[in-house]
Structure formats: structure tokens, C-alpha cells
Amino acid sequence: MPANLIDTIDRTSYEPAYAQLVRILRRQIAAGMFRPGHRLPSEAQLCEQYGVSPMTVRRVINILVEQGAVVAEQGRGTFVKPIELGTAAFHLDELQRLFQGEETTVKLLEARIVSASERTARKLLLEVGQRTVFIRRLISHDESPVLYHREHVIYDPTRPIVEAEMEVTALRGLFNGGSEATLKRGELAIDATVMTEEEARLLHVSPGNAAFRVEHIFYDFENVPVSWGWFICPGDRLRFTTTVGIYDQEPHNV
């Protein structure tokens, strides 16, 4: 039985051979040709079958492994991976989309110098009473508020980040990958909470509603924490979604 003509690499295509083979194998797995736990053809067989070099097949297998579709075991073979919930990754795509649109506005509610509380001092590695800049922002989309942001930025006149952070446009850069060259890394965590009265009022929802709370700490290139705070988002205005298992198309994650 000759191989399906669709499952053939077109050397005249603009799509590279390795990408075509990834697509072909993904589709075959998704179609159930290779079931979870079963072995894929060996790399040597794939070389011969599709007329590509070992290095190219190797690359294809690597990509499928990274995508979580298969698992390669040295000396044994390459096996189709069963569906696995634990590897699910939720992306903040929706948040990103929010900041890309022109209909999104950032309103600075407050920005003033305060003395660090015990909690703020602990998060930013400061002494209690040291100065921080307390910033409150309201992010709206299509005139409707969707995010309430409050953060503490360390106050250091020699550090230009304070002025930069005050700019309402700085937030947009953070989400879209602007030129925030002063920040090196950040740590994020999502909680589920019930909104306070202040939060509910600002976001135009009834108090007692559920919300996501995205806490963040950002560090500069000297690994000094420079910003701590969180976003509040009503639970019904944001949805984190993902997929697990085998898809015909490339996964949008990984």
C-alpha cells in the first residue's frame, strides 16, 4: 500500500520540509493512526519514507516532544503521549489583546509618595517606613472598566524607573513587550478573591462578586524588587482558556 499522497513532502513549497513533516505526523496522530502509548516509526524509517535526512527527522521529533504530542525514549522509540491535564498552561492572551486595542484607556487615579507598610516593606525588601510611590490605575475597554491596578514602586530619585512607571503608557509597553529595558523579570500569581467595596465600585459591579487577583513583583537588572502590586479583574470579564491533548493544528502555547 503506497503512502497517502497528502502525507508527502512538497519540496517546491515555501513551507520547510521539517514543518510539513510536523504537520503530517500531528495529523496522523490526531486522526488516530497512532494511538496514545503506541510507537511511532523509527527515525530511520521516517527518513526513508519521507526522503529527508536524519537531522531533519530529529528536528521534527524534537518539535513534537516540545509540543507535548510524543515522548522519545532513547533506545526504545518514540511514543504518542496520552492526554495530560497537569501540563495545561493558561495564557494571558486575552489581557494582551486588551492592551493592544486602541479602545483601551488607562486612567491614573492616584500617585503619591507613602511610607511602606509592613507588608509592602516585606515584598519590596525595604525597611518599614521607607518611601514608595503608590499608584492606582483604572484600565477600561470600550469605556467599560475591566482592570483595577494598584502598585507600590520604590522611591529612589536616582532611579529613572519612577518617572517611567508613572506614565500611563508604561503599562501598555509591559503587556506588549515595549522598550521597558529597566525591568529584568517579574513574578506573577493568580488568586481568586471576592471584590472589596472599593474595587466593585470602580469596576461597576456589585460588591461581593468574584474576581481574579493577579499579583506581581518586578525586578530590575540588579535583581532589586522595584514594583509590587496587583490587578483586580471581575471574574466574568476575563476567561483563561487552554487545550490539552492532540490537536490537528499547532498548539498556540509552547
Partner DNA sequence: AAGTGGTCTAGACCACTAT
Partner DNA sequence: TAGTGGTCTAGACCACTTT
Q: Which stretch, 46-54, 104-112, 129-137, 217-225, contacts its own copies (CB under 8 A)? A: 217-225
Residue 37 CB, nearest approach to DNA (Å): 14
Contact flag: residue 160 with its own copies (CB under 8 A) = no
Residues with Cβ within 8 Å of residue 207, at least 6 apart in sequence: 195, 196, 197, 200, 201
Per-residue CA distances from 108 to 135, 136, 145, 203, 211 (Å): 8, 6, 13, 14, 21
Q: Could you say which of 1, 5, 6, 181 contacts its own copies (CB under 8 A)?
A: 181
Q: Among 233, 165, 172, which residue's Cα sits nearest to residue 204?
A: 233
Contacted by 96, from DNA, its own copies, none: CB < 5 to 8 Å by type = its own copies
Measured from the CB atom, is 64 or 211 closer to its own copies? 211
Q: Which does 42 bind (CB under 5 to 8 A by kind): its own copies, DNA, none?
A: DNA
Q: Work out the end-to-end distance of the chain between its first and last CA atoms, rounded to an integer number of angstroms.
A: 36
CA 143 to chain centre: 26
Per the CB < 8 A criterion, the answer to whether 216 and 175 are in contact is no
Round to whole Å and give the CA distance between 49 and 38.
Answer: 19
If one asks whether residue 76 binds its own copies (CB under 8 A), the answer comes out as no
Q: Which residues, at least 6 apart from 11, have a Cβ–Cβ distance to it below 8 Å?
A: 17
197 binds, among its own copies, DNA, none (CB under 5 to 8 A by kind): none
| Site map 88..117 versus its own copies, x via CB under 8 A | xxxxxx-xx--x------------------
C-alpha 80/C-alpha 61 separation (Å) is 11
The residues of the shown chain that bind DNA, judged by CB under 7 A, are 16-19, 40, 42-45, 51-56, 58, 61-62, 72-78
- Among the listed ranges 45-53, 125-133, 150-158, 188-196, the one in contact with its own copies (CB under 8 A) is 188-196
CB of 48 to DNA, least distance (A): 10
Q: Rounded to an integer, what distance in angstroms lies between the CA atom of residue 248 and that of residue 229?
A: 40
Nearer to its own copies, 168 or 174 (CB): 174
Q: Can you give the binding site for its own copies, defined by CB under 8 A?
A: 30, 32, 35-37, 55, 66, 81-93, 95-96, 99, 173-181, 183-194, 208-212, 218-219, 221, 234-236, 239-247, 253-254
